[in-house]
Amino acid sequence: MDNYNYYKFCPYCGIPLGKKNMAGRVRGFCEKCSFAYYLNPTPAVVTIVLNTGKDRIFLARRSKHSFNPDKWCLPGGFIEYNENFLEAGKREILEETNLNVEIEGILNITSNFFNPQLHPIVVTLLGVSSDMDCTPDDDVAELKWYKLDQKLPALAFEADEFIISRFKKNPGLVLPVDKRFA
User: Three-state SS string across 28-89, please?
Assistant: EECCCCCCECCCCCEEEEEEEEEECCCCEEEEEEECCCCCCCCCEECCEEECCCCCCHHHHH
Q: Per-residue confidence at 27, pLDDT binned at 50, 70, 90?
A: confident
Structural contact between residues 135 and 98, judged by C-beta atoms closer than 8 angstroms:
yes
Q: Residues with Cβ < 8 Å from 72, sequence gap 6 or more?
A: 59, 60, 61, 62, 144, 152, 153, 154, 155, 156
Listed in order, the ranges of the chain carrying CATH 3.90.79.10 are: 42-171
| 4: pLDDT strictly greater than 60 | no
Percentage of residues of the chain with pLDDT beyond 70: 95
Percentage of residues of the chain with pLDDT beyond 90: 48
CA distance 135 to 98: 6
Residue range 121-149, pLDDT digits in tens: 999 999 999 877 777 676 788 889 999 99
Residue range 31-50, pLDDT digits in tens: 999 999 888 899 999 999 99
- 42-171 CATH choice from 3.90.79.10, 3.20.20.140, 3.90.400.10, 1.10.3720.10: 3.90.79.10
More confident residue, 178 or 50: 50
Q: What is the mean pLDDT of the chain?
A: 87
CA distance 15 to 33: 10
pLDDT for 5 equals: 58
How far apart, in Å, are the Cα atoms of 174 and each of 115, 135, 163, 169?
30, 28, 12, 12
